[in-house]
Structure 1
Amino acid sequence: MKRHLVIATAAAAALIAGGTVTAAAVSGGAGSAHTASGTQVSAQQAAPRAGSGTAQVQDGRSSIPMQDDDADGQEELREADAAKVTASDAAAAARKAVPGTVTGLDLDADRAGLVWDADVLGKDGKWHEITLDAGNARVLNQHVDHEDDDDHAREQAAAQNAKTDAAAAARTAASHGKVTSVELDDDHGTKAAWEVETVTKDGKEHKFLVDTQSGKLSVAPQHDADDDDNDGADD
């Protein structure tokens, strides 16, 4: 109890003095405080206890400072090269934070630095949005998406019927470049597919589809790709 009081008092003093406490979490054991900057924390340490639904680290900053800047069209490559956590590892960290099915992953640089944004359909039936440090998979932010729309209903049905997951889809496409996003998409014909985007060393972006049932990889149709993609050529 004394340890809790000391940490709480220090945080209050910092706020009164005009400082900023970005994130801190304390559990019952010694040495269980986690800060959002200056300390590398593993995904296992930072993730909440299974089923708790509450991240222990909130509104933290990534260990990889990076600005959202695509002035030269090489933003995706810079982000992919800087990330130390792969898409499949990010999916594992997201599942540890919220047990359930990861339906989306996106590597992005924002105000927090370089992060993985993950969408998880929790076993509690709720949609969770989790932000993970791209340097060490630490949970930086987590909240529940309360929107209830047709898109979520279709995505939930597709996730429940899928025999493959986002991590497997990322590993399948990883031989074609560094994976920067994975999304469960039902816009490809009559059945859903994992849509995976990668970037190769030459800075070109590629888009693939991974069958949710068989796990088979295919190149996304040209009309479904961004204008600057080069998906017609396999690497």
Structure 2
Amino acid sequence: MASLEKAGAVAMNAVKGSTLLSIQSENHGRIWGVQLAGSDGTERQMEVDASGNVVSGPRVIDTGAAEKARVMAMVKDSEFTFKDAAQKARSSVPQGKITHLSLDRYSSNLLVWDADVVTPDGTGYEVKIDAKDGIVTKNG
């Protein structure tokens, strides 16, 4: 099965110069749904299968100028990549599997990577990683 990192890398390779905004395990782990931001803030969605092949997309999402500007500001302000965030989330929940990871800005202007992590016994954890300094701000 393609790892989160492999699926993200495949998606970013399909859209040169893009930044991963979110990735989510779908269809019982057989598909990764990926959302990217192009260099101009244009968002694209695609699906990558467990073998690491793009099976749908990339599809352009017409979000409008304001959303493109918001996305570009998040990308510019984030100093941690999705790979950095995935590594932090995994170290916060040993033996956990990340099922969702996304870059989000909250009303308090806090920019975080949100991760949903599930342990082998089925316990779910929400992990938040500050996208500027990599500090885990929530684990539970």
Provide the TM-score with structure 2 as the length reference: 0.86
- Segments of 5+ residues of structure 2 without an aligned counterpart are none
Matched, 1:174 2:90: yes
CA contact (8 A) 2:19 2:75 kept: yes
1:156-175: CA deviation from partner (whole Å, max 9, x where unpaired): 31112211111211121123
Where does residue 215 of structure 1 map in the other structure? 134
Q: CA deviation at 1:196?
A: 0.7
Residue 32 of structure 2 aligns to a residue whose secondary structure is strand
- 1:129 maps to a residue whose letter is Q
Matched, 1:206 2:125: yes
Moved more, 148-157 or 116-125: 148-157
Within 5 Å, which residues of 2 pair with 1:16-165?
A: 84-99=1-16, 100-109=18-27, 114-133=30-49, 135-142=50-57, 143-148=59-64, 150-165=66-81
Whichever of the two has the greater Rg, that structure is 1
Residue 114 of structure 2 aligns to a residue whose secondary structure is strand
Q: CA deviation at 1:185?
A: 1.1
- 1:130 maps to a residue whose letter is M
Q: CA deviation at 1:201?
A: 1.1
- Segments of 5+ residues of structure 1 without an aligned counterpart are 1-83, 221-230
CA contact (8 A) 2:40 2:72 kept: no
93 and 148 in structure 1: CA distance in 2 versus 1, 3 angstrom threshold: same
Moved more, 85-94 or 204-213: 85-94
- 1:181 maps to a residue whose letter is H
Q: How many residues align?
A: 135
Identity within the alignment, %: 24
Where does residue 108 of structure 2 map in the other structure? 189
Moved more, 99-108 or 147-156: 147-156
Provide the TM-score with structure 1 as the length reference: 0.53
1:175-209: CA deviation from partner (whole Å, max 9, x where unpaired): 31101111111126322110011000110111111
Q: Which runs of 4+ in 1 moved over 6 A?
A: none
CA contact (8 A) 1:184 1:193 kept: yes
Q: CA deviation at 1:94?
A: 1.1
195 and 151 in structure 1: CA distance in 2 versus 1, 3 angstrom threshold: farther
Mapped partners of 1:85, 1:188: distance in 2: 34
CA RMSD of aligned residues (A): 2.0
